[in-house]
Copies of this chain bind each other. A is one copy, B any other.
Amino acid sequence: MKSAILSVGTELLFGQITNTNSVYLSQQLNDLGIDVMYHYTVGDNPKRLAEMIRQAFTDCDVIVTTGGLGPTQDDLTKEIAAEVLHDELVLHEDLLEELEGYFKKINRVMTENNKKQVYLPSRAVVFDNDAGTAPGFALEENGKTIICMPGPPREMTRMFERRVRPYLEAKSEDVIYYKMLRTFGIGESMLETELQEWIDGQTDPTLATYAKEGEACLRITSKRRTLEEAKAAVEDMIEKVNRKVGQFVYSYDDEEFYHVVGRKMIEQNLSFSCAESCTGGLFAQTITEVPGISAVFDRGLVTYSNRAKMEELGVKAETLEKFGAVSEETAIEMAEGLRKVTGSRLCVSVTGIAGPDGGTEEKPVGLVYICAILDDERVSREFKIRNTNRKWNRNYTVLCMLDMINHLIEGRK
């Protein structure tokens, strides 16, 4: 099946908002085995909207639209969709009752124009909106389908998950199953090279690599008549992949690295603390995104100044003088000091030069030292990040820290 994604709304053309709907829908449609041929964004322009729908239907079977379903007079998606697919809008009584009930519940007056939202094409398959007031719908004619959803991302993604996905799944005879593997430490080019024999001439399952800010992802997808067949095909390929690059895979379920590591800390009840310099709190902030982390996280010390390193962690003045704040020796003393102060089983420290300034010939921007201690095991490493962008360096440094911790935790098995 071929599709086009149509985003309706002038606010998208001003450049103040990023169109996340089309990204989300592209992913979802591709997941369902539906090719996405075009993205269109139009303002509140009924003539052009109708033109684009007709044009998309010349080579697409499905059009998915977002936006233009609201109560104002600029909201014209339904009218145009009905016009193109030879239908007319009628009042859906049951939806009107629900809408009136909603306004009563939130104790607000329902203005006349709100009623507009419950006029839908007579042949429409209605998708209820439990996160907003405008229902969505699907309308078909002669093998052409248009699916109209609200613009606000939260409402749209919810409606897609609850109603549109099952609707589209029912249209296909095949079942798609995929796994998204996440790797760290290998890079997309090398990952592709290592898996070349299965990438070349692939049929099913398919393998696709993606670069993701310092990481590399691998998507293994199979499309079969039954879920069991598709699953088996994917799992077979995962086994092959593991034999080549298994040591770099940190998730088989598209999980964020910090989530994977945070989860392991919680599951294994590993009390932990962190001491950061160049990352400025980014590691602590990231790991505390994991709900429930308070069960194991004691404290994070952002010892930005040398004085703070000495006072909080007991780093020796001589060490800072002799080796500098950015050195393996300092990273080790930070982590050991943290262990003394907190008693946490898992301690990690980082010191480095995030940039863009602060680098020298001897110690350039991107130079980072990380030390991690788990019980009586300690590792320390130097990283030379070849980037001058402060934000990128800090983000990547956090990934390096997670990787070192992950290896420590996994090493005990």
Contact = CB atoms under 8 A, between A and B. Distances in A.
A40 interface: yes
Q: What size tier do the contact residues of chain A reach?
A: 35 or more
A329 to B, nearest CB: 20
Contacts of A55: 51, 55
Interface in A39-92: 39-43, 45, 48, 51, 55, 59
Given A291-B390, A299-B303, A305-B294, A13 B27 contact: no
Contact of A298 (B43, B51, B297, B308): B308
Given A15-B36, A22-B19, A289 B43 contact: no
B291 A281 contact: no
B39 A48 contact: no
Most chain B beta carbons < 10 A, residue from A42, A281, A356, A390 = A281
B18 A18 contact: yes
A210 interface: yes
Nearest to A278: B288
A302 B301 contact: yes
Contacts of A13: 26, 35-39
* Copies of this chain present: 2
Interface in A365-399: 390-391, 394
Interface string A232-254: 00000000000000000000000
A121 interface: no
A282 interface: yes
A280 B291 contact: no
A265 to B, nearest CB: 13
Nearest to A304: B297
A25 interface: yes
Contacts of A178: none
Contacts of A257: none
Given A14-B26, A284-B280, A390-B291, A302 B305 contact: no
A215 interface: no
Contacts of A303: 299
Contacts of A43: 37-38
B42 A38 contact: yes
A20 interface: yes
Most chain B beta carbons < 10 A, residue from A22, A288, A312 = A288
A102 interface: no
Interface in A112-142: none
Interface in A1-42: 7, 12-20, 22-30, 35-42
A311 to B, nearest CB: 8
A144 interface: no
A345 to B, nearest CB: 14
B304 A302 contact: no
Nearest to A47: B59
B19 A19 contact: yes
A349 interface: no
Contacts of A38: 13, 40-43, 48
Given A40-B40, A300-B302, 17 more contacts: A7-B39, A14-B36, A15-B25, A15-B27, A16-B210, A37-B48, A38-B48, A48-B59, A280-B284, A281-B283, A281-B288, A281-B302, A284-B302, A288-B302, A289-B391, A291-B356, A298-B304
21 contacts: A14-B26, A15-B24, A15-B28, A15-B36, A22-B41, A38-B41, A40-B40, A276-B281, A279-B285, A281-B300, A281-B302, A291-B356, A291-B357, A294-B304, A294-B305, A298-B305, A299-B303, A299-B305, A300-B304, A301-B302, A302-B302
